[in-house]
């Protein structure tokens, strides 16, 4: 039975992020009390309202910062457990670092003039940006300094379905990370089993060329670029001498749990997935517009040339795939993810959590606290970067230009932290 509860909550809640929504709710009160009126009668009123709103917003972010710190403490004692934050936002997951939210608020307030606004309250995007800035600050120095930064491909490094080309602005930022001795990983759902790595080399040609032509990178630093394809299925590493992508055998990097997934079980999940996708094609009258594509470690519905699949259909397919496949006994033995790629739907073996965990494992056990994953898909169902939250800190971007901006911030904070550390040393 389709109850109102199911429509309002179960089928929509996955599109919202409860932590961001909750913070947004907290900032609504100062907005109403201090920002409201537009009629300034006396000189100085405008600045006063903005200052009042800024002070109250900053206080809220400072309080949330304390709650996150408390939750970190609780996690050490009893797992994600029963922190105050968990009581207020029950779906909240584990944090790996403290988040300097008050400082991050001041940075974003300067850029986005949040407290100068009279008619538009702090938004989902304002808060997402503040969280991103705080995460970048937390990973800039000291014991939590980032060692591995992984990036989603589509919509994060390049526009949907496009490639990273020579001269793309983001390339210089990725070179900046490599120069700082940070491993750079691309963890993408795009799965190309060919061990020559030709497809990845083509889609990332701008990055590979940029790295090989960069005079400041030694061959060793160049080889700190890794590509994990098919969520967690194919690993390639850049050969810093030749500029080629080297295929790394699975046994060298997969975490022990993944090595238990048998070929027969993998095929069974994909068979069930394929059957379900066929059924959905028929049920949603999509056969003329879309087709099924089966690969070694994935199966998807993609639009036929010059066609597109309506957003509602994509969502219906992904929710059904998740719902049906997770009840199968084989899903207890092999992990899969189902996600809406914006114009297609895919069921992949494994997910980005395993992709990031495997990279950490391969790179001599880098810890989640020193890992950052940057991606665009963080809704809780039908989005494939969400699972990376279980293995790393995350930054949620909405476009490649946002990725560029947050990397500029991160590189600036790292420079700043290095300078401070040098001052202390001398």
Which residues is 229 bridged to in the sheet?
234
Q: Interacting stretch for ligand IMP, rule CB under 6 A, among 127-135, 188-196, 238-246, 256-264?
A: 188-196
Q: How far is the CB of 47 from ligand IMP (least distance, A)?
A: 44
Binding mask 340-379 for Mg ion (x = CB under 5 A): ------------------------------------x---
Specify the residue, 133 or 188, whose C-beta has the smaller distance to ligand IMP. Answer: 188
298 interacts with, out of ligand IMP, Mg ion, none, CB within 5 to 8 A per kind: ligand IMP
The residue with its CB nearest to ligand IMP is: 341
Specify the residue, 341 or 382, whose C-beta has the smaller distance to ligand IMP. Answer: 341
Task: Record the tokens describing residue 394, joined without a space.
Answer: 């995350």
Angle at 392 between CA 388 and CA 396, to 5 degrees: 65
Among residues 261, 346, 362, 378, the one that binds ligand IMP under rule CB under 6 A: 346
Which residues is 336 bridged to in the sheet?
349
Residue 332 dihedral angles phi and psi, to the nearest 5°: -80, -20
Binding mask 155-174 for Mg ion (x = CB under 5 A): x-------------------
Q: How far is the CB of 98 from Mg ion (least distance, A)?
A: 28
Give the C-alpha distances (Å, rounded to integers) separating 421 from 14, 96, 135, 417: 42, 23, 20, 6
Q: Interacting stretch for Mg ion, rule CB under 5 A, among 49-57, 124-132, 144-152, 315-323?
A: 144-152
Residue 154 among the catalytic residues:
yes
- What order of strands is seen across the sheet that includes strand 345-349? 290-294, 298-303, 345-349, 336-340
Residue 269: CA count within 13 A, CB half-sphere: 31
| C-alpha span between 266 and 298 (Å, rounded) | 9
Residue 65 binding ligand IMP, by CB under 6 A: no
Site residues (CB under 6 A) for ligand IMP, limited to 148-167: 152-155
Which residues is 236 bridged to in the sheet?
227, 247
Specify the residue, 123 or 291, whose C-beta has the smaller distance to ligand IMP. Answer: 291
| C-alpha span between 164 and 154 (Å, rounded) | 10
| C-alpha span between 371 and 355 (Å, rounded) | 12
Residue 152 among the catalytic residues:
yes
Q: How far is the CB of 199 from ligand IMP (least distance, A)?
A: 9
From the list 17, 154, 348, 376, the catalytic residue is 154
| C-alpha span between 35 and 402 (Å, rounded) | 28
The number of residues making up the chain comes to 426
Grouping H, G, I as helix, E, B as strand and the rest as coil, residue 184 is strand
Among residues 122, 176, 197, 230, the one that binds ligand IMP under rule CB under 6 A: 230
Q: Interacting stretch for ligand IMP, rule CB under 6 A, among 254-262, 321-329, 340-348, 403-411?
A: 340-348
Q: How far is the CB of 95 from ligand IMP (least distance, A)?
A: 24
Q: Crossing angle, helix 18-30 and helix 45-78, to 10 degrees?
A: 150
Q: Crossing angle, helix 263-283 and helix 311-325, to 10 degrees?
A: 140
Q: Interacting stretch for Mg ion, rule CB under 5 A, among 23-31, 146-154, 212-220, 250-258?
A: 146-154
384 interacts with, out of Mg ion, ligand IMP, none, CB within 5 to 8 A per kind: ligand IMP
Q: How far is the CB of 295 from ligand IMP (least distance, A)?
A: 5
Q: How far out from the chain centre does Cα 203 lie?
A: 20
For 290, counting Cβ atoms within 10 Å of its Cβ (0-12 exposed, 13-18 middle, 19+ buried), the class is buried
Task: Record the tokens describing residue 79, joined without a space.
Answer: 């797992």
Among residues 341, 355, 368, 382, the one that binds ligand IMP under rule CB under 6 A: 341
Specify the residue, 153 or 382, whose C-beta has the smaller distance to ligand IMP. Answer: 153
Residue 152 binding Mg ion, by CB under 5 A: yes
Number of residues that bind ligand IMP (CB under 6 A): 18
| C-alpha span between 1 and 100 (Å, rounded) | 45
Among all chains, which residue has been given the structure tokens 């109850």? 3
Residue 17 binding Mg ion, by CB under 5 A: no
346 interacts with, out of ligand IMP, Mg ion, none, CB within 5 to 8 A per kind: ligand IMP
Residue 344 binding ligand IMP, by CB under 6 A: yes
Question: Helices (H) and strands (E) in the chain — how many of each?
Answer: 15, 11
Task: Record the tokens describing residue 339, joined without a space.
Answer: 């996600």
Among residues 189, 227, 286, 388, the one that binds ligand IMP under rule CB under 6 A: 189
* List of residues contacting Mg ion (CB under 5 A): 152, 154-155, 376
The catalytic site residues sit at 152, 154
* List of residues contacting ligand IMP (CB under 6 A): 152-155, 188-191, 230, 295, 298, 300, 341-342, 344, 346, 348, 384
């Amino acid at each position: 039975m389709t109850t109102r509860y199911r429509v309002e909550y179960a089928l929509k809640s996955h599109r919202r992020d409860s932590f961001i929504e909750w913070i947004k709710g907290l900032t609504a009160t100062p907005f109403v009390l201090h920002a409201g009126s537009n009629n300034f009668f006396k000189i100085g009123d405008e600045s006063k309202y903005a200052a009042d709103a800024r002070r109250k917003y900053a206080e809220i972010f400072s309080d949330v910062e304390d709650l996150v710190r408390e939750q970190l403490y609780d996690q050490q004692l009893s797992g994600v457990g029963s922190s105050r934050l968990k009581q207020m936002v029950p779906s909240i997951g584990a944090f790996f670092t403290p988040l300097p939210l008050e400082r991050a608020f001041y940075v974003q307030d300067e850029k986005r003039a949040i407290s100068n606004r009279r008619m538009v309250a702090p938004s989902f995007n304002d808060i997402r940006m503040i969280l991103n800035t705080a995460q970048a600050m937390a990973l800039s120095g000291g014991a939590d300094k980032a060692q591995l930064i992984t990036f989603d491909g589509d919509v994060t490094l390049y526009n949907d379905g496009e490639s990273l080309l020579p001269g793309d602005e983001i390339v210089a930022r990725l070179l900046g990370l490599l120069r700082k001795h940070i491993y750079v990983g691309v963890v993408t759902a795009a799965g190309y089993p060919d061990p020559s790595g030709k497809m990845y080399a083509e889609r990332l040609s701008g990055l590979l060329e940029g790295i090989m032509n960069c005079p400041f990178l030694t061959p060793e630093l160049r080889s700190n670029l890794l590509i994990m394809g098919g969520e967690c299925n194919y690993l390639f590493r850049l050969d810093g001498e030749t500029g080629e992508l080297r295929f790394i055998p699975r046994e060298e990097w997969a975490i022990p749990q993944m090595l238990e997934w048998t070929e027969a079980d993998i095929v069974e999940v994909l068979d069930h997935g394929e059957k379900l996708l066929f059924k959905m094609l028929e049920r949603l009258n999509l056969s003329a517009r879309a087709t099924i594509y089966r690969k070694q470690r994935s199966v998807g519905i993609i639009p036929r040339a010059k066609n597109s699949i309506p957003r509602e259909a994509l969502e219906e397919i992904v929710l059904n795939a998740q719902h049906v496949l997770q009840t199968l006994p084989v899903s207890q033995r092999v992990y899969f993810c189902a996600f809406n790629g914006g114009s297609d739907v895919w069921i992949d073996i494994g997910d980005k959590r395993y992709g990031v965990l495997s990279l950490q494992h391969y790179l001599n056990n880098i810890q989640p606290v020193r890992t950052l994953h940057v991606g665009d898909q963080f809704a809780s169902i039908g989005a494939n970067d969400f699972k990376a939250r279980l293995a790393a800190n995350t930054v949620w971007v909405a476009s490649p230009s946002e990725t560029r901006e947050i990397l500029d911030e991160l590189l600036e904070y790292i420079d700043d932290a290095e300078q401070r550390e040098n001052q202390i040393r001398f």
